[in-house]
Amino acid sequence: MPELRKDPIVGRWVIIATERAKRPVEYARDASQPRPGAFCPFCPGNEDKTPHEVLVYRPSPTARDWALRVVPNKFPVLKIEGDLDRRGEGLYDGMNGVGAHEVIIETPAHDRQFADLDDGAIEMVLSAWRDRIVDLRRDTRFRYVMVFKNHGAAAGATLEHTHSQLIALPIVPIAVAAEMTGAQRYWEFKERCVFCDIVRQELDDGRRVIFENGGFVVAAPYAPKFPFETWILPKTHRAAYEEAHQRELGQLAGALRTALRKLSVALDRPPYNFILHTAPFGQGDSLHYHWHIEIMPTLTKVAGFEWGSGFYINPTPPEDAAKFLRDLSI
């Protein structure tokens, strides 16, 4: 059973995922690179090589083939069965590693990258995230669902076939809690949502805006941790992603595809991560939090200084990155 353990100083939880344990020598040779041409468990015909799907979308109601599948991760970092069993050990705090770890297989086509899907296919992925969050938030053990994508080996992807992942957690992750607290502090001071203020100021200013449609702004943040970091912010205030209307998901598909294609052209198909930032369960109607997506191309190495300080050194001013991406035709 994996274990959740809390750092006694800063309160950060970690997952000790013993079932993925390696011997020391195994770390020396990293076998996690995707191998082109290798057997792919996500391709049509290999459905029996993954656990049974928890959600499937088909091209038509009577079709036997699928357009998108969501399956439990075969090597989950948390286990869906069991009680939390919170416990102390001297000054330390732990609990069982209970949670859900699912994979969204975004298309049957092995050779399509996410950024190359059409808006309809991307909207289907966005709907799948919503549908899974709505289902998982009924489980009272869970407090948060983290949705993310690792693209490319340097960004942590171990399979080539395009997919995103979600992890349902029995605690609110420390980075999400810090965002909620910061947004609440701003609200207490200003009585406005900080994200709504950011959207307004960025649209007025324009220097960091990359793309805009009816529902969304794609912009470089004022204080990016990484070069070409790109945020996608909904113009409508809503704390929880799963409350977004279908029409908004359609607009988000266009904004996300545009952002990723521009990054792909500008940076020669870089590895990247993106993360859905959304309110914890039970705070979906918060006035101070505002869901959004953050995209981080993997371009620089994170080293001692960043690890120690939480202080990032970024050699690319966001105004330069935004201008470059804004002017790029795709």
Q: Which residues are catalytic?
A: 163
Tokens read off for 184: 């609440």
Residue 179 interacts with its own copies (CB under 8 A)? yes
CB 320 to its own copies: min, Å: 7
Residue 72 interacts with its own copies (CB under 8 A)? no
Residue 182 interacts with its own copies (CB under 8 A)? yes
Cα of first residue to Cα of last residue in the chain, in angstroms, is 47
Q: Report the residue from 267, 279, 284, 326 that binds its own copies according to the rule CB under 8 A.
A: 267
Of 106 and 179, which has the nearer Cβ to its own copies? 179
Strands (DSSP E) along 155-228, which ranges? 163-169, 209-212, 216-219
| Binding track over 188-207 against its own copies, x by CB under 8 A | ------xx-xx--x---x--
Q: Please, which of residues 221-250 interact with its own copies by CB under 8 A?
A: 221-225, 227-228
Q: Report the residue from 70, 122, 168, 169 that binds its own copies according to the rule CB under 8 A.
A: 169
Q: Please, which of residues 82-111 interact with its own copies by CB under 8 A?
A: 89-92
SS3 248: helix
- In the Cβ-directed half-sphere of 280, how many Cα atoms lie within 13 Å? 17
Q: Please, which of residues 128-157 interact with its own copies by CB under 8 A?
A: 146, 148-150, 154-157
CB contact set of 68 (below 8 Å; sequence gap of 6+)? 55, 56, 57, 104, 105, 106, 107, 121, 124, 125, 128
Q: Report the residue from 20, 74, 110, 245 that binds its own copies according to the rule CB under 8 A.
A: 20
Q: Report the residue from 283, 312, 323, 330 that binds its own copies according to the rule CB under 8 A.
A: 312
Q: Which of 201, 257, 263 is nearest to 230 (CA)?
A: 263
Q: Which of 87, 84, 80 is nearest to 96 (CA)?
A: 84
CB 196 to its own copies: min, Å: 11
